[in-house]
């Protein structure tokens, strides 16, 4: 039995499932398999938050509509939590605890007794304090349960015809703010507008980190020459200043996930 079949058997044994659905590679795959196996006993729950870009929200809705999946929405209001807004290095724990607590209640209201999230085996090698909240609240992690890696999920997603199989990795917009620097709706909107503009220019993988009024752009090494060219650079500077940035910089190390973690002791060994 391959891992996809193992996943189906595991989900079938649950009888019902509410999937925390963000429209990312992992949650889309998990939701698709859950719905294929459980039908209407599988639902999607999407968080509505300033740290969740509008285009991701729209993609989540379009996918559920296309697949005929019941979708519910939950607004965690995480910025009202001082522990989250202050942006400590375990910020993600507070966010996930608030989010999943609400998802569990919403699922119960709709007759669903199991709630799942989409972390995979590769996530265990990264700094993910939110997984502690997942553990505390007994939220299920089916992809990890059967040992699926990101590459395997992409391969199975392609096999299932999912549009997300080659979708770039994404993390919530709060991850663009340095630890200790307060998270505000204004900062998240600045980042969202800036990243949307990079997408409009044709870049596929990017991050715009915000340091006060400074934008630090990360793109893969192969895109650095293009983004630094006079015409593209000029467009970016003009537009970013319209969004509220005073200075615009390019990170010569290029794109990498979790670059904000480089200045803290996460306890995770690479």
In the chain, DSSP finds a helix count (H) and a strand count (E) of: 11, 7
Strands 207-211 and 214-218, by their bridges, are antiparallel
Q: Are 219 and 201 in contact (CB under 8 A)?
A: no
**Tokens 């599988």, residue?**
42
Residue 257 and residue 216: Cα distance in Å, rounded? Answer: 14
Nearest in space to 204 (alpha carbons), one of 259, 157, 167: 167
Please tell me whether residue 232 adopts helix, strand or coil conformation. Answer: helix
Q: Which of 64, 92, 95, 172 is catalytic?
A: 172
Largest CA distance in the chain: 57
User: Using only C-alpha atoms, what is the Rg of the chain?
Assistant: 19
Scan for tokens 């202050």, then name that residue. Answer: 86
Give the helix ranges, DSSP H, for the chain.
Answer: 3-14, 25-38, 54-67, 82-85, 91-109, 130-136, 142-145, 150-159, 185-200, 224-227, 230-242
Known catalytic residue: 172? yes
The tokens describing 122, both together, are 């590769």
Residues with Cβ within 8 Å of residue 151, at least 6 apart in sequence: none
Active site residues: 172
């Amino acid at each position: 039995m391959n891992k996809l079949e193992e996943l189906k058997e595991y989900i079938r044994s649950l009888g019902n499932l509410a999937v925390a659905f963000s429209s990312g590679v992992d949650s889309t795959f998990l939701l698709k398999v859950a719905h294929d196996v459980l039908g209407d006993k599988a639902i999607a729950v999407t968080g509505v938050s300033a740290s969740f870009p509008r285009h991701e929200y729209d993609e989540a809705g379009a996918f559920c509509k296309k697949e005929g999946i019941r979708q519910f929405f939950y607004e965690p209001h995480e910025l009202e939590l001082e522990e989250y807004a202050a942006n400590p290095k375990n910020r993600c724990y507070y966010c996930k605890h608030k989010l999943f607590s609400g998802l569990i209640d919403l699922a119960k209201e709709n007759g669903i007794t199991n709630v799942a999230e989409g972390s995979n085996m590769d996530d265990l090698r990264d700094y993910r304090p939110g997984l502690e909240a997942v553990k505390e609240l007994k939220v299920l992690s089916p992809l990890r349960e059967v040992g699926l890696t990101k590459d395997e999920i992409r391969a199975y997603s392609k096999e299932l015809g999912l549009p997300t199989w080659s979708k770039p990795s994404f993390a919530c917009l709060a991850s663009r703010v340095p630890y200790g620097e307060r998270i505000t709706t204004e900062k998240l909107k600045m980042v969202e507008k800036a990243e949307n503009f990079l997408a409009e220019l044709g870049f596929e993988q990017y991050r715009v980190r915000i340091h006060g009024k400074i934008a630090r752009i990360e793109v893969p090494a192969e895109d650095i020459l293009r983004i630094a060219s006079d015409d593209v650079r000029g467009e970016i500077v003009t537009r970013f200043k319209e969004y509220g940035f005073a200075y615009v910089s390019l990170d010569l190390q290029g794109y990498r996930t979790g670059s904000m973690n480089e200045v803290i002791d996460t306890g995770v060994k690479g």
